[in-house]
Amino acid sequence: MQISIFSTKPYDQEYFSRYNTEHDLQFFQANLKQGTLNLVSGAEGVCVFVNDQLDKLVIKGLAKKGVKLIALRCAGFNNVDLEACKAHDIKVVRVPAYSPYAVAEHALALIMGLNRKTHKAYNRVREGNFSLERLTGFDLFGKTVGVIGTGKIGAVFCRIMLGLGCKVLAYDIHPNEKLQRAGVIYKELPAIFSESDIISLHCPLNEHTHHIINDAAIIQMKKGVMLINSSRGGLVDTKAVIHGLKHRKIGYLGIDVYEQEEQLFFEDLSETIIDDDQIARLMSFPNVLVTAHQAFFTEEALTQIAQTTLANISAFESGEALENEVKA
Ligand code: NAD
């Protein structure tokens, strides 16, 4: 089956080519959006990632070109208009799980980096500065960690934090009994906000969770709280968080995702003037650590992403049941 793969980087090409035996894959660096639809020529399917924009118009354009399958090579599907896909009889498949450990461990890396300031220590020592001034951290042992969303990634994250001796509170619309037995205490959101020293987001982005972290949520939080977002940028109202940082309410912010990341992330913009004032402001705080959507980026996850996506495409081509289908 011919598949146009968008937003590809050398590592995508490497892993997909390594595991592909059946399909005709065309790799495009460009994001899929209205202006790049023309790249789709003769393909029955497109393969997309987190920042491709599959809105109503793009879906309509894909349908006109004969596309029958959208294969997401990620778990989240907030960037796809599923109703439009249904209307045009386009199937959508995704990779529901690819190493939840990769993302959960990266959330821990953000916490550890912010807390023990290893990125700053590394630079200092390279400059011959062996001072410990302003590198003070805190013990994670005994701290209260609030986890919003305890699906595959959130569950792994909860267990990591329990292993470090933290008290773990969680909020999820479907509490997980196994986690409760392991010691996680489910509470409502106001309690998560007011009792946690660290809050980590692991729920999907949808109309209920958009800006779940906003002014009203931040007001309820402890002074000096650490906020970690490795899920989706839209969960956090960036303006509210900047306000919280400026007023010393938020003590630390670690983000692997950002509301307007599609203009920035995955590209080398080191010689470019960045127009986005919000990300520039965020990067100016000494207590903010930003990574560019790399939480998933492990060898194990890239392997699973390529293998599952190719299997999803093969299942569609041979008319088998689509176990990883996403429906409106
Ligand atoms: P999952 O579907 O296994 O778990 C999501 C959990 O969120 C579920 O338990 C669900 O009940 C819960 N949830 C849904 N709505 C909620 C709400 N309103 N409030 C609280 N909880 C709610 O998904 P997962 O595999 O654990 O992934 C979680 C998210 O992580 C994805 O949606 C994606 O956005 C993000 N992600 C990020 C990266 C990265 O590289 N940064 C990689 C993979 C996934």
Q: How does pLDDT run across 80-94, given as a tens digit for each residue?
A: 999 999 999 999 999
Can you spell out the DSSP letters for 195-214?
Answer: H-SEEEE-SPPSTTTTTSBS
What would the two tokens of residue 49 be? 């990632």
Backbone angles phi, psi at 257, to 5 degrees: -140, 155
Q: Is 254 in the pocket of ligand 1 (CB under 6 A)?
A: no
CA of 124 to the centre of ligand 1 (A): 37
The confidence score (pLDDT) of residue 96 equals 92
* 261 belongs to the catalytic site: yes
With a 6 Å cutoff on the Cβ, whether 266 touches ligand 1 is: no
Which residues make Cβ contacts (< 8 Å) with residue 313, sequence separation at least 6? 1, 3, 23, 45, 47, 69, 71, 93
Residue 21: φ, ψ to 5°: -125, -20
CA-based radius of gyration for the chain: 21
Structure tokens at 55: 């809105």
Q: Ligand 1, residues 157, 187, 203: which to mutate, most atoms within 8 A of Cβ?
A: 203
Pocket test for ligand 1, best of 103, 256, 300 (most atoms within 8 A of CB): 103
Residues 6+ apart with CB under 8 A from 189: 148, 171, 212, 217
pLDDT of 76: 87
Q: Which residues of the chain have pLDDT under 70?
A: none
pLDDT in tens, 119-131: 999 999 999 999 9
- CB 151, CB 206: distance < 8 Å: no
Summarised one tens digit per residue, pLDDT across range 191-215 is 999 999 999 999 999 999 999 999 9
* Pairing of the two strands 144-148 and 91-93: unpaired
Using the atom order of ligand 1, give the atom closest to the CA of residue 294.
40
Ligand 1 contact, 134 CB (< 6 A): no
The pLDDT value recorded for residue 262 is 86
**Annotated catalytic residue, options 94, 232, 259, 262:** 232
Q: For residue 253, what are the contacts with CB-CB under 8 A and spacing of at least 6?
A: 114, 226, 227, 228, 241, 245, 282, 285, 287, 288, 289
CA distance to 22, 41, 179, 314, per residue, from 27 (Å): 15, 12, 41, 18
Cβ–ligand 1 contact at 171 (below 6 Å): yes
Instruction: For 224-240, give one letter per residue: b (16+ CB within 10 A) or e.
Output: ebbbbbbbbbbbbbbeb
CA 159 to chain centre: 19
Residue-by-residue DSSP string for 15-27: HHHHH-SS-EEEE
- HSE toward the beta carbon, residue 210, CA cutoff 13 A: 5
Exposure string for 57-67, b = 16+ CB within 10 A, e = fewer = ebbbbbbebeb
Report pLDDT for 97.
87
- Measure 202 CA to ligand 1 centroid, in angstroms: 5
Ligand 1 pocket mutation pick from 230, 231, 326 by most atoms within 8 angstroms of CB? 231
Query: How far lies 119's CA from each of 13, 179, 248, 268, in Å?
Result: 30, 32, 21, 20
Report the C-alpha gap between 5 and 30 in whole angstroms: 9
pLDDT at 98: 87
Q: What is the pLDDT of residue 3?
A: 98
